[in-house]
Amino acid sequence: MKNIYLCGETDNYEATRIADELEFAKGDPVTFYLNSSGGSVFDALAIAHSLRHYDGELTISVAGLAASSATLILCSGRKVTAAANALFMIHSPKIMLMDNYNARELLDLKETLDKVTETIKTTLASRIKKEFSFEDGDVWFTAQEALEMGLIDEIEELGIMNVMEKKYQASVRHAEIGRIRDLTAMKNENASVNAIIDVAIKRGQSVADVKEYIAALTDIKTVGAAGKIADVITDQMNSGAAGVVGQTALSEEEKKIAFRNKVAEFANGLT
C-alpha cells in the first residue's frame, strides 16, 4: 500500500509530481489523500486524468478540504471517502486580471470562462446525483451532504490531517523519485557503470556521489579497463585533484599499490 498526498493548490508542479508518484507506485494499491483549496482547473483535470488511468487499486480520501478545482479530482472514477469533519466547496471559475483590456478582449475572456464553466459542470455531473448550481457564488457542503449528493462514497471517522507533515512526506518522496530517475538516466551499455549505479540506488546515494567513477568508466569497454582506471586514478593523484595527496610522479609499483588501495576504498564504500 502506498500513500500519495496533495496538500496545497492544484498546479502544474503538483500535477507532474502526482503523475511521477503514480508511475513509481507500479500498480500497487494507493490511497490518495486530498486537502486542497483548489487552484488551476486545468491542472486539477490533469490530476484526475492520472488517477483515472492508474493501473491499480486507488482510493481518494478527503482528509480536510476539497474546494474549487480540487472537487474535480473526486470525479476521476475512483472510490472517494472523506473524514466526518471534511468540507467541500464548488463555484464557477474565476480569473485574476492584471493588465489593460478592451471590450473585445473582455468578451473573449467571458466566452472562455463560460466554456470552462461548462467543463466543470459536466465533470461534476459525472458524480453528483442531484441537481446543483453555483452561479450565485460559493456553495459549501459537509461530508454528510457530499455523501447524499454522490460526491463521495463513504464517510470515515478521521480528523483533519497535519498539512505540514503531509507536505513534508510528499516532498521527501518526490525527491527520492527524482534521485532514482537521475541515476537511472546515467546508465549505458557499460556493465560496470550500470552495476555502480544499481548499488548507488540501493544505498541512497546521488549522482554527485558516483559521477567521478562513472566518468572514469563510461568510455572503457575493453579487458584492459583496470589499467586505464589505474591511469585515471594515478593522474588524479599526481595532480592533487579532489584533495588526493602526493603530487610527485609514482613508480610502476607505487601505481599498482595506489590503484589497489583506491579500488578497495571504493568497493568498501559500496558494500
pLDDT digits (tens, 9 = 90+) for 159-169: 445 555 666 67
CATH classification at residue 63? 3.90.226.10
pLDDT tens digits, 77-92? 899 999 999 999 999 9
Do 138 and 226 belong to one domain? no
pLDDT tens digits, 183-193? 898 888 777 78
Do 154 and 184 belong to one domain? no
- Is 53 among the residues known to form the active site? no
Q: How many CA atoms lie within 13 A of 173 on its CB side?
A: 21
Do 161 and 198 belong to one domain? no
Do 225 and 245 belong to one domain? yes
Q: Is residue 153 part of a domain?
A: yes
Which residue among 76, 91, 92, 174 is the active-site one?
A: 91
Do 21 and 133 belong to one domain? yes
Q: Which three cell numbers stand for residue 89?
A: 466547496
Do 52 and 131 belong to one domain? yes
Distance of alpha carbon 138 from alpha carbon 94, whole angstroms: 11
Residue 264 has pLDDT above 60, yes or no: no
Which residue among 36, 50, 61, 68 is the active-site one?
A: 68
Q: Which three cell numbers stand for residue 269?
A: 564504500
User: What is the chain's length?
Assistant: 271
The pLDDT mean for the chain works out to: 82
- Helix 103-125 vs helix 41-52: angle between axes, to the nearest 10 degrees? 30
**List of E strands, the chain:** 2-6, 30-36, 58-67, 79-83, 87-90, 139-142, 154-156
Q: Is residue 175 part of a domain?
A: no
Which of 168, 194, 229 is at the close of a domain?
168
Contact 216, 193 (CB under 8 A): no
Q: Which three cell numbers stand for residue 19?
A: 503523475
Do 142 and 212 belong to one domain? no
Do 15 and 128 belong to one domain? yes
How many domains, the chain? 2
The model's confidence at residue 171, banded by pLDDT at 50, 70 and 90, is confident
Contact 132, 139 (CB under 8 A): yes
pLDDT at 243: 47
Contact 33, 3 (CB under 8 A): yes
Do 219 and 141 belong to one domain? no
Q: Is residue 215 part of a domain?
A: yes
Which of 168, 193, 221 is at the close of a domain?
168
pLDDT tens digits, 201-216? 888 888 888 888 777 7
Distance of alpha carbon 29 from alpha carbon 24, whole angstroms: 12
Do 188 and 127 belong to one domain? no
Task: Please indicate whether residue 108 or residue 199 has the higher confidence score (pLDDT).
Answer: 108
| 139: three-class secondary structure by DSSP | strand
- Is 68 among the residues known to form the active site? yes
| Average pLDDT score over residue span 96-117 | 93
Sign of CA dihedral 82, 83, 85, 87: negative
Domain enclosing residue 245, as ranges: 180-270
Do 200 and 150 belong to one domain? no
Do 117 and 91 belong to one domain? yes
| 188: three-class secondary structure by DSSP | coil
Reported as type and span, the H/E element at residue 79 is: strand 79-83
Distance of alpha carbon 93 from alpha carbon 83, whole angstroms: 26
Distance of alpha carbon 94 from alpha carbon 103, whole angstroms: 18
Chain mean position to CA 146: 29
Residue 122 has pLDDT above 70, yes or no: yes
Residue with cell 583506491: 262
Q: Is residue 173 part of a domain?
A: no
Least confident of 2-16, 48-62, 192-206: 192-206
